[in-house]
Amino acid sequence: MAVDELDTRILRLLLEQPRTSVREYARVLGVARGTLQARLDRLERDGVITGTGPSLSPAALGHPVLAFVHIEVTQGHLDEVGDALAAVPEIIEAFSITGGGDLLTRVAARDNGHLEDVIQQLIQLPGVVRTRTEMALRERVPHRLLPLVESIGRASAASAASTARK
């Protein structure tokens, strides 16, 4: 999906000021409220905007230990193991991957002992062959999308300017 300069400005505002009203966004951007709402609807429909809820901190919720657990799965059991992972509340993300393992999960735990308990629970799932765990020490770059959005917006503007010169 093409994201133009206005889309980039809209997404920046949504990321930087998530609690602002549509009316205020329209005022700040200097566009009609209807124009803004149509853009937001398109961005949602195209899957660019996937949610509007708050960002939560597992650490503030009493789960400061963050680990990445690689899971090797018996061939043909990836879907079953993936479904079983959804029942483990400490797993906050899971991805199918290439490389060393079949699944990569992000796990939040209260402490190291709790993490071990979660890993033992994972090892016992039918279809799990083995796990490998890596613990996060410190977050160096928090989850972010604004630099990517801005990069896409710049590329789109440069492409539009190039097309206009031709």
Q: Is the pLDDT of residue 138 over 80?
A: yes
Single-letter amino acid, residue 91 = I
Per-residue pLDDT at 100 exceeds 90? no
- The yes-or-no verdict on residue 1 having pLDDT over 70 is no
Look at residue 119 and tell me whether its pLDDT is greater than 90.
Answer: yes
pLDDT value, residue 97:
97
Q: Provide the pLDDT confidence category of residue 129 given band limits of 50, 70 and 90.
A: very high
> Could you give the percent of the chain with pLDDT greater than 90?
75
Q: How far apart are CA 111 and CA 119, in angstroms?
A: 12
pTM over cut 0.85: no
What is the model's pLDDT at position 54? 82
State the pLDDT at residue 162. Answer: 76
